[in-house]
Amino acid sequence: MNGRNIWIMARKELSGINYEKTIIFAILLQLFVAMFSSFLMVGLTSMYDPSSVSQYSRFRYSIAYSGTNSTLLDRLLESDDFTVYSMGLSPALESLKERKLAAVIFVPDTPPDSKDPVQITLYTLQNDLQATVVGVKLKDVFLGFEDDLRTARASRITEQPIEVQLPPAARTEGFYEFVFGLLIPLLVFMPAIISASLIIDLITEEYQHETLETLVSTPITFPEMVWGKILACEILVPAQAGVWLILLALNGIRIENPVPILFLVSVASLILILLSALTALHYRERTAAQFIYSTALVVVILLVVSVPDNPLNLIVRASVGNAGLEIYGAILLVSAVAAALGYATHLYARRIGRLAQGSV
Amino acid sequence: MGIFSDIFTIARWEVKKSFSTMGRNVLPLAVILFILLILATGFVARSGMHLQDGMYLIATDDRELGNILASDGRFMVFIGDASTIESEISAFDLIIVNRTVSQPTTDRGRAAAKTLSRDYSQYVASVYSREPDLFAAYPLWIDLQYVKSELDFQATQSGQYISVRQRSAEPPLPQGPVVQVTPPPAVIPYSADDLRKNLQQDTGKNDQIARYTNLFTQQPSYSSFKTPDQLSPSLPFDSIIFVFVFIFPLYFTSQFFMMSIMNERIERKGEILLSSPLHPLVIIAGKMLPYLAGMLITSVGVILAARASLLILLPLLPVILFFLASALLIGMLSRSFKELSFISIFFSTIATSYLFFPSIFANVHVVSLVSPLTLIILQLQGTGFSAADYLYSTSLFYLTSGVLLYIGAVNFNAERLFDLRPFLPRLREFITSSLSRVHPYRSLFLANIFLIPFVFMLQMMALVLFFNLPMPLSLVLLIAFAAFVEELAKSIGVYSLFAGEITSLPLPTILLASAATALGFLLGEKLFLLAMLSQITDSVFGSILFLQQGALLLWMPLLLHFAGVLIVTLTIRAGGRRWYFPGVLAATVVHSLYNLYFILGAVR
């Protein structure tokens, strides 16, 4: 094993990526994602947590109240979010269809302390972002009304839950858990996944383009060639992940412990890269290797995520600043696995190299 | 029938070949991986996802409360006495002392408080749902009724928030006729036990996952009755998750097709096929057939599994064709495996956004019909779609797939397939050989007609994107973007036909070429508008994209298009090929000013 040969090989692959301008596609992709990010942010976050949508509108919504008067009507009139009109049900529904109203509420004449439940009917527009927002705002009012009714029926309730005084609802915060708990581990591990599929391309290419014999006839040995390719892919991981972290910081999302995170990602991605290098060396054909790799990737990710204190979880905790020394332990553990896999890859590459030399 | 038997022969070869490369070695491992996948899924289902464990540190002096909170993995709970906790308040994201929650004013503290309040209401619900007198603990039930609004495009002209426009004391009365409805009954039509079961089921499961799995299982009919706490807002995103199930296998299969084309090229096996007397289209059709069949079979499988209507296949078909046509070109264009990987990732991101983002607005806006996926959502909901809807949302996909296939077929020869030059010059060459050098003006004219679907696709995407922005900004962005896309599209033909010799090109040729381009573009645009887009063009957004000059003569837009191409060609002629993009930008500015002038006129 010669360090310089490995470096020559890695440089060859990196300049190949640079020459083919394929990296431009990666950058374009990142730009494209950045362009859609505001949309993604709203869209994905509200998928993840619909109540965060409500901060996007500070309008007064027009709603119609129909049926018997109740404390619900008083609560709606008090609310800053709504302009309430008392209307007949039929014209109100027609106005709703014409989008002149955001919602229609019908309340029957059930007394508050009745044995029966009070069953009100809420009409909203189907599958509409506005309806989503109105629903969130109405929920608060309904909860208040439910409290009124519960108080009226309190004598019939046998077990009360532990009462906890919650701070006033913070409407402004909705993205934090999404950004730190999902987006950051996703973005940081994306380069690892890309690099692992890149190594398959680099290795199978030598086989399928039949350039392997030329390479093996140079002073560079087969294991050196494999390690050079692995190095080229590995270098890209912290570089890309680092760029993501910087971009996020520019967007005002500050991450704690960036260095241990990048370190952990680099070692963990080395495992992925080594696994796919082994797959590629075994199959020597891109379609098969990529197919096996992508299926195996899903299995590995599922297994990793279901274990407590997994690397992805540690990245989440480190990025919010709640991880102690565990992250260093994880780095050590993951490094050990990577070293073992690296040794296996080395042995396998050496065997293949000998066989190849024998045939040449 | 000769052609069909040829196609079948090639299709049989293709299947055989892919099985011989994939078959023996891959199958055992694939089976093992598949079993592992099922086991892993089961494992995750049992042990849960541990992604966000320990995100928040929380301290409390109440052991009972602490144990309740610890059941949520996101909280790391510390139980101690009140004085110790209060002395180290800054070490925690949230503290609960004397059953009162206080939090530091950090982002994390606020996020923790939000998670806590969600957990707390779940806990309260679990206590109340055990109550013997259910209607004392849950006195309020809400019957959620969705009303479908067919909003026409015109209604959004004054902005998106129709429901907030009313501010007067007068109730908003409908314009249309009022249909008399009988008020809903005051009694809930289900027994307390049924409702309790439903409540307990609901509190038992993780609602973040349940929200998406609910879609697959038939819901019991009383689920439209909810307590205020269950009032999860109506999410348009749910159906989109489901649509993803249809699209994902298509991505996967088109990858195999891409790879097969690429393999022919690098292993030079394609040469044998090329030397046969078969027409390239026959070869392409034959190679495509197995993948097409595979995609259709998977889709039918998914449809049957979801017990949905087979009509969903209709909108899927153009999407499948589009994927296959793009896969063909990507396989033919890329020089190396890594290029193939990057381009295909790039393509699928773009295609995903084009397909998915519009369908978020299904039922809300006609814009959503831009994507065929919207039709799938409508069909899943039971609304269905009309033939006009189908034509409107799929024609762009059919046309672009046709053009892409044509470009692929024209270039399916040894010279192009085994060439290893950079991507962009190759792409230009592909376009050049689709044009005729013998009849340059005629082919420029035709090429620009066929470019229109692509231009419309890009502009539609912009429309969907900018639709969400506030009004003046969305207009300006749309004007600039639409102009840029049109100028770029028009210049592609001239540029690829004359790029090599443009500096020495005589002026009359340039004028004639520009005229042919402008004519073709205009004709294509008008044909398209007449054919289908009348819904969108009636709106103010539409008039930016496809300026309707009812009162004006056609020579005005013709002159504009002519001027645009001329600006680009003359810039390149004067400055060389480096000046291509500045030329396009200059033409864009002219085009935008023209559009602004007429739209301001229209608004006034």
For chain B, say whether A182 makes contact (Cβ under 8 Å): yes
Arithmetic mean of pLDDT, B116-125: 81
Residue pair B138/A117 in contact (Cβ under 8 Å)? The answer is: yes
Q: Which two tokens stand for residue A110?
A: 């059930």
pLDDT at B504: 72
Asked if pLDDT for residue A173 goes beyond 60, the answer is: no
Q: Which of A67, A159, A76, A75 is CA-nearest to residue A119?
A: A67
Same domain, A205 and A333: yes
Arithmetic mean of pLDDT, B51-78: 84
Per the CB < 8 Å rule, is B164 touching A59? yes
Interface residue of B20, B51, B164, B208 to substitute, partner A, most A CBs within 10 Å: B51
pLDDT in tens, B481-534: 888 888 888 888 888 877 667 667 777 888 888 888 888 888 887 776 665 555
CA-based nearest distance B90→chain A, Å: 13
Phi and psi at residue A99, in whole multiples of 5°?
60, 30
CA-based torsion, B442, B445, B449, B455: positive or negative: positive
Same domain, A228 and A104: no
Same domain, A212 and A140: no
pLDDT in tens, B310-344: 888 888 899 999 999 999 988 888 877 888 888 88
Name the pLDDT band for B540 (thresholds 50, 70, 90): very low
pLDDT at B470: 56
For chain B, say whether A325 makes contact (Cβ under 8 Å): no
Residue pair B300/B20 in contact (Cβ under 8 Å)? The answer is: no
For residue B104, give the DSSP letter: -
pLDDT at A266: 92
Residue pair A81/A61 in contact (Cβ under 8 Å)? The answer is: yes
Residue pair A237/A21 in contact (Cβ under 8 Å)? The answer is: no
For chain A, say whether B255 makes contact (Cβ under 8 Å): yes
Interface of B with A in 318-357 (CB under 8 A): 335-343, 345-346, 349-350, 353, 357
Q: Is residue A182 part of a domain?
A: yes
The more confident residue out of B466 and B185 is B185
Instruction: Give the whole-angstrom CA distance, residue A321 versus residue B382.
Output: 48
pLDDT in tens, A201-233: 888 888 877 777 777 677 778 888 888 889 988
| Total number of domains in chain A | 2
The residue type found at A275 is L
pLDDT at B214: 41
Same domain, A21 and A98: no
For chain A, say whether B272 makes contact (Cβ under 8 Å): no
For chain B, say whether A159 makes contact (Cβ under 8 Å): yes
Domain ranges, residue A235 = 3-47+174-359
Asked if pLDDT for residue A72 goes beyond 60, the answer is: yes
Per the CB < 8 Å rule, is B163 touching A46? no
Among the partner-chain residues B40, B100, B259, the one whose CB lies closest to the CB of A302 is: B40
pLDDT at B408: 86
Name the pLDDT band for B23 (thresholds 50, 70, 90): low
Per the CB < 8 Å rule, is B339 touching A90? no
- Which range has the top average pLDDT, A283-287, B92-96, B288-292, B420-424? B288-292
CA-based nearest distance A170→chain B, Å: 7
Burial B109-145 (b: 16+ CB within 10 A, else e): bbbbbbbbbebbbbbbbbebbebeebbbbbbbbbbbe
Per the CB < 8 Å rule, is B55 touching A152? no
Q: Is residue A161 part of a domain?
A: no
Interface residue of A17, A70, A127, A182 to substitute, partner B, most B CBs within 10 Å: A127
Q: What is the CATH number of the domain that holds A115?
A: 3.40.1710.10
Name the pLDDT band for A15 (thresholds 50, 70, 90): confident
| Residue ranges of domains in chain B | 56-128, 141-152+191-234, 237-419, 435-604
pLDDT at B56: 87
Same domain, A144 and A202: no
pLDDT at B196: 75
Q: Is residue A166 part of a domain?
A: no
Instruction: Give the whole-angstrom CA distance, residue A82 versus residue A137.
Output: 9
Asked if pLDDT for residue A79 goes beyond 90, the answer is: no
SS3 annotation, B169-182: CCCCCCCCCCCCCC
Per the CB < 8 Å rule, is A164 touching B65? yes
pLDDT at B221: 39
Phi and psi at residue B477, in whole multiples of 5°?
-60, -40
Over chain B, what is the mean pLDDT?
A: 75
Asked if pLDDT for residue B2 goes beyond 70, the answer is: yes
- Which range has the top average pLDDT, A115-129, A323-337, B371-385? A323-337
Q: Which of B327, B329, B333, B296 is CA-nearest to residue B313?
A: B296
Arithmetic mean of pLDDT, B217-231: 58
Name the pLDDT band for A357 (thresholds 50, 70, 90): low
The residue type found at B213 is T
The residue type found at B514 is S
pLDDT at B160: 37
Instruction: Give the whole-angstrom CA distance, residue A101 versus residue A94.
Output: 9
CA-based torsion, B531, B532, B533, B534: positive or negative: positive
Contacts of B133 in chain A (CB under 8 A): 153, 156-158
Residue pair B151/A99 in contact (Cβ under 8 Å)? The answer is: yes
The more confident residue out of A220 and A271 is A271
Domain end residue (candidates: A154, A188, A218): A154
Over chain A, what is the mean pLDDT?
A: 79
pLDDT at A338: 92
Same domain, A88 and A205: no
Domain end residue (candidates: A102, A120, A154): A154
Contacts of B335 in chain A (CB under 8 A): 20
Per the CB < 8 Å rule, is B337 touching A121? no
Q: Which of B58, A213, B527 is CA-nearest to residue B67?
A: B58
pLDDT at B327: 92
Residue of B nearest to A292 (CA): B30
Q: Which two tokens stand for residue B176?
A: 């249309």
pLDDT in tens, A316-326: 888 888 777 88
pLDDT at B292: 92
Residue pair B261/B269 in contact (Cβ under 8 Å)? The answer is: no
For residue A220, give the DSSP letter: S
The Cβ of residue A333 has, within 10 Å, a number of other Cβ atoms equal to: 12
The more confident residue out of A242 and B1 is A242
Same domain, A78 and A214: no
Name the pLDDT band for A273 (thresholds 50, 70, 90): very high
Same domain, A93 and A33: no
Among the partner-chain residues B37, B155, B346, the one whose CB lies closest to the CB of A295 is: B37
Interface of B with A in 448-477 (CB under 8 A): 465, 468
pLDDT at A277: 93
Strands B140-147, B225-226: pairing kind: antiparallel
Asked if pLDDT for residue B365 goes beyond 60, the answer is: no
Residue of B nearest to A60 (CA): B164
pLDDT at B224: 66
Question: The complex's ipTM?
Answer: 0.76
Asked if pLDDT for residue A340 goes beyond 90, the answer is: yes
pLDDT at A33: 57
Q: How far is CA B405 from the centre of its chain?
A: 22
**Any residues with CB less than 8 A from the CB of B150 and at least 6 apart, and which?**
none
CA-based nearest distance B489→chain A, Å: 20
pLDDT in tens, B418-469: 766 666 777 777 777 777 777 778 888 888 887 877 787 777 767 666 655 5
Q: How many contacts (CB atoms, under 8 Å) link A and B?
A: 429
Contacts of A307 in chain B (CB under 8 A): 47, 50
Same domain, A295 and A214: yes
Name the pLDDT band for B296 (thresholds 50, 70, 90): very high
Same domain, A187 and A251: yes
**What is the CATH class of B56-128?**
alpha beta
- Which range has the top average pLDDT, B43-47, B69-73, B346-350? B69-73
For chain A, say whether B234 makes contact (Cβ under 8 Å): yes
Q: Which two tokens stand for residue B475?
A: 């207009």
Q: Is residue A168 part of a domain?
A: no
Instruction: Give the whole-angstrom CA distance, residue A350 versus residue A356.
Output: 10
pLDDT at B321: 92
